[in-house]
Chains A and B, each alone.
Chain A
Amino acid sequence: MIEKKKNKKVYKKGLNLLEAYPIKFSESVVFVKYDGPVDNFSFPFPDKKVEHIIVNLCPTEPWALPTRAILKNETPDFLNKLEAVRTEYFPDSHCHVVVNHQESSLVNEAERYKSQKDWLSIHTMEPVYPYDTPVLIVKNILGLDIAFGQNTIELGILLLDPQTITGIFEYYIQKNEFNTRLIPISGTGLNENKILKVRPGTPVERILETHVKAGIKYRVFLDGPLNGTEVEDLTQKIDWSVKNIVVLEERDYKTPFPYLKVNKLLFTTSLMGELRRCVYCNFCDDICPVNLEPALYWHCYTRGEKHKARLYALEKCIECGLCSFICPSKLELLHVIRECKS
């Protein structure tokens, strides 16, 4: 009990993105046709012994694939697949399934399923970004400290994406064909937020073709705008690791009276303000999920003393990007942190 409380205190920070940027996906799943060469599914089985498998069914980013799209109201079915994968490939491991504590029906269903199995445990989690990043999820569930960027396999922990479980089950166990992946697309640059069924290997261009709003400038991001990457070249092909695509409107012109139109600017790439110096507002260290003080790195960086940033526990930063997100002076804190790390 005490242990639990302590964890809560350490990670009480973060941001409930699902509330800040609610995104609704349309119900139907659309298949994207593509006739060019595609990638086949393959899973690199680890050569180390796996002790823990963590399956995250609680996405904390609104643009991530909603759980219902994977479970399709058949939770036991999914858990059966997980059991099959476990018995076949990771027989000695213990499975941890993480679910959103607000989805009570899912929690109940999973608990009911679990009552007959001793290889499984169900954890509930608040959907607060970035609690599902490897460092925090391992810390919260197993109580182990891992460093940012460390491969969890070394500790015998395997983080599995729900879609990968289906993939391993279909492809390796059932020997069925498995060559599509669900990719949610969302953002202000699109007409509608949709879940697409895509064959990895399809170019981004082809996927977005019919969905982008006409007559606006837009930018495309893989794996979310907070810590994902920008797609520079739209002919780039989707691979099996892509989780979602976000298309944001690029408002690179001035908007009069921005205070009256916050909603129009929200969820675009606009900086929504101008670059200033740090005003010591403490927003960044209030939001940092691992209790760092990002402004310190910025001070070191502007003074030209990059190496000094390491003194302030820089290595603990999980590069979630929340500090840059919240900073009212619009400082590029994440960029600074990455520069200081290198």
Chain B
Amino acid sequence: MKKTFKNIETIFNKSLNSIETFIQSHPKVNFLFGALFEAADGLIRSTKDTAKNPPFIRSSMDVKQYMGGILVALFFGWVVPAIYFYGFMCVVPKLIVSFVVGVFIVDVLWVILAREERINEGGFVTCLFIPAFLPPQVPLWLIGVGAGISILFRNILGGVGHNLVNPALFGRLMLTICFPTMVVSGWQEPFTGIPTIESLMYGVDAVTHATPLIVFKETGEVTSYLSLLFGASTGSLGETCRISLIITGIWLCKKRIANWRIPVAYLGSVFLFAALFYLILGKAMVPPMFQLLSGGLIFGAFFMATDPITTTYSQTGKWIFSIGCGFITVVIRNFSPIPEGVMYAILFMNLIGVPIQSIILKLKYRT
């Protein structure tokens, strides 16, 4: 068994090598497909680069593993629970559309046209985000548009390492601007109970119900915390099952892929500010525990705000960044007609990140 695998691998490796030499020896082919091949090859094989400058050994962690970790966490954090709650046929087509449009159309075209070297794994992460913060009943084309906008936007900015704001959130913002009614309707009641084949495939009948935050805005009714925690309440596709998001989020922090400071400071500050407003202004404010467990906050705190490149580099800056996020989230939820503020908070703080960073540096290295 092991030997056959080894043989197949050798043949596979050799054929890839010969394709590579073929492409490189034909300039025209190289112009059209060179970058594409490089990109696909980069996902299968390691690079042949070796260290030219000291240190001559390097740790095995690279950006691919880094992004791979986020993908795994997202998969278990929201894809698996979402299949349970809304059915296979609701979740998987959305993912396929998001990936096909985002990675296979926009990214590949970009690679060919702009002659970038590689398809970045960062694009996968973005595409996995898109369906997660849209309602379960959103039409497929909207997801396609969202993924397209996000990937295009991140490619224009320059991909991993250049992003000013989180591209997935930017895509969501554009959708909110262009199709304001579609992204805030179609909140489907999730399935609960013992799953059957039928429910895993198709979910339950599409009964729609407003999200807990909207319900609170309209009637002041607080949904039970337990159903919020385990995902038995309405909400966007990927943000309802908070317990799994918390577990995978903590795993990410443990692996040091997500910086633990951000979720801690974000959730902590949301709780504190919410408690403050609740104590001062009374019942009209959203109560603190409800704040923590509703909307996209957990998802945003563990997965969106921690997107490394869009925060500040300095660790102190990360505290300020996330406390800012928390403050804006609470303010939007309490004092504006929009029920959910996580997206605006993170986008806004992403932009503020640059000045925060330079101020912190000035203070820290003041001589």
Q: Give A contacts to B, CB under 8 Å.
A: 21, 219, 221, 225-230, 248, 250-259, 262, 265-283, 285-286, 293, 295-296, 311-313, 321-322, 324-330, 332, 334-335
- Decide: A259 and B65 in contact? CB cutoff 8 A: yes
**B254: CB under 8 A from chain A?**
no
Which of A281, A286, A293 sits near B66, CB closer than 8 Å?
A281
* Among B17, B47, B160, contact of A279 (Cβ-Cβ < 8 Å): B160
Q: Which of chain B's residues have a CB closer than 8 A to the CB of A274?
A: 42, 47, 49, 62-64, 118
A286 to chain B, nearest CB (A): 8
Residues A334 and B54 in contact, CB atoms below 8 Å apart: yes
Question: Could you list 9 further interchain pairs (A-B, Cβ under 8 angstroms) beyond the known A279-B66, A328-B62?
Answer: A251-B50, A259-B68, A266-B60, A279-B309, A311-B365, A321-B55, A324-B54, A328-B61, A328-B66
- Chain B min CB distance to A196 (Å): 21
- Sample of 23 A–B contacts (CB below 8 Å): A21-B57, A226-B54, A226-B56, A228-B54, A248-B56, A250-B50, A254-B41, A257-B9, A257-B44, A272-B60, A278-B313, A279-B160, A279-B308, A280-B308, A281-B66, A281-B256, A282-B259, A296-B361, A311-B365, A324-B53, A325-B57, A328-B59, A330-B49
* Cβ-defined contact, A312 with B361, below 8 A: yes
Name the CB-closest residue of B to A329: B63
Q: What CA separation (Å) do A278 and B311 show in the bound complex?
A: 12
Contacts known (A257-B9, A280-B313); A226 close to B66, Cβ less than 8 A: no
Contact A256 B12 (CB under 8 A): yes
Main SS at interface, chain A:
loop
Q: Is the CB of A253 within 8 A of B48?
A: yes
- Return the chain A residue nearest B122 by Cβ: A279
**Of B48, B256, B311, which contacts A283 at CB under 8 A?**
B256
Contact B55 A265 (CB under 8 A): no
Scoring B54, B61, B308, B315 by chain A CB atoms within 10 A of each residue's CB, the highest score goes to B54
B-chain residues with CB within 8 Å of residue A281 when the two chains form the complex: 66, 256-257, 308
Question: A275 contacts B57, CB within 8 Å?
Answer: no
Query: Which among B41, B118, B161 is the interface contact of A329 at CB below 8 angstroms?
Result: B161
Within 8 A of A (CB), among B25-77: 41-42, 44-66, 68
Complex interface residues of chain B between 68 and 126 (CB less than 8 A to chain A)? 68, 118
Residue with the highest number of chain A CB atoms closer than 10 Å, among B12, B50, B64: B50
* Complex alpha-carbon distance, A266 and B63, angstroms: 16
Task: Tell me whether A254 and B46 are in contact (CB under 8 A).
Answer: yes
Smallest Cβ distance from B145 to chain A, in angstroms? 27
Q: List chain A residues, Cβ under 8 A from B256.
A: 281, 283, 286
User: Which residue from A229, A267, A275, A278 sits with its C-beta under 8 Å from B49?
Assistant: A275
Minimum CB distance partner of A219 in chain B: B56
How many residues does chain B have at the interface if contact means C-beta atoms less than 8 Å apart? 49
Q: Could you tell me the distance between the alpha carbons of A225 and B256 in the complex, rounded to whole angstroms?
A: 26
Tell me the complex Cα distance, A254–B21, Å. 13
Contacts of A328 in B (CB 8 A): 59, 61-63, 65-66
Q: Which residue of B lies closest to A270 (CB)?
A: B50
CA distance A335 to B58 in the complex (A): 14
Asked whether B62 lies within 8 Å of A272 as measured between CB atoms, the reply is yes
Shortest B52–chain A CB gap in Å is 8
User: Measured between C-beta atoms, what is the minimum distance from A111 to chain B in Å?
Assistant: 36
Write the nearest CB–CB distance from B22 to chain A, whole angstroms: 15
Among A228, A271, A280, A312, the residue within 8 A (CB) of B50 is A271
Contact surface of B with A, Cβ cutoff 8 Å: 9, 12-13, 16-17, 41-42, 44-66, 68, 118, 158, 160-162, 256-257, 259, 308-309, 311-315, 361, 365, 367
Residues of A within 8 A of B64 (CB): 273-274
Looking at the assembled complex, report how far the CB atom of B26 sits from the nearest CB atom of chain A, in whole angstroms: 20
- Complex Cα spacing A312 to B314, Å: 12
Do B55 and A227 have beta carbons less than 8 Å apart?
A: yes
CA gap between A86 and B45 in the complex, in Å:
58
Beyond A225-B54, A226-B54, A328-B63, whether A254 also contacts B48 by CB under 8 A is yes
In order of increasing CB-CB distance, the 6 nearest A-B pairs are A273-B62, A277-B161, A258-B46, A321-B55, A225-B56, A335-B53
Q: For residue B62, which residues in chain A have a CB less than 8 angstroms away from its CB? A: 272-274, 328-330
Residue of A with least CB distance to B61? A328
Interface pair A271/B311, CB less than 8 Å apart: no
Q: How far is the CB of B73 from chain A (nearest CB, A)?
A: 15
Nearest Cβ in chain B — how far from A264, in angstroms?
Answer: 10
Bound Cα distance A230, B55 (Å)? 10
Are A295 and B58 interface neighbours, CB within 8 A?
no
Complex Cα spacing A212 to B65, Å: 32
Q: Which residues of A contact B45 (CB under 8 A)?
A: 254-258
Contacts A269-B50, A295-B313; is A256 near B58 (CB within 8 Å)? Answer: no
Output the residue of B45, B46, B60, B64 with the most chain A CB within 10 A.
B46
Q: How far is the CA of A296 from the CA of B312 in the complex (A)?
A: 12
Interchain CB contact (< 8 A) of A277 among B46, B118, B160: B160
Q: How far is the CA of A221 from the CA of B13 in the complex (A)?
A: 30
Residues in B whose Cβ lies below 8 Å from that of A228: 54
* CB-based contact B53/A271 at 8 Å: no
Residue among B58, B65, B256 with the highest chain A CB neighbour number at 10 A: B58
Which residues on the A side are within 8 Å of B17 (C-beta)? 254
For B158, the chain A residues whose CB sits under 8 A away are 277
A254: B residues at CB distance < 8 A: 13, 16-17, 41, 45-48
Chain B residues near A257: list those with CB within 8 A: 9, 44-45
Task: Decide if A271 touches B51 in the complex (CB within 8 Å).
Answer: yes
Partner of B54, one of A258, A259, A266, A321: A321
Instruction: Tell me the smallest distance from the CB of B366 to a CB of chain A, in Å.
Output: 10
Interface contact A272-B59, CB-CB below 8 Å: yes
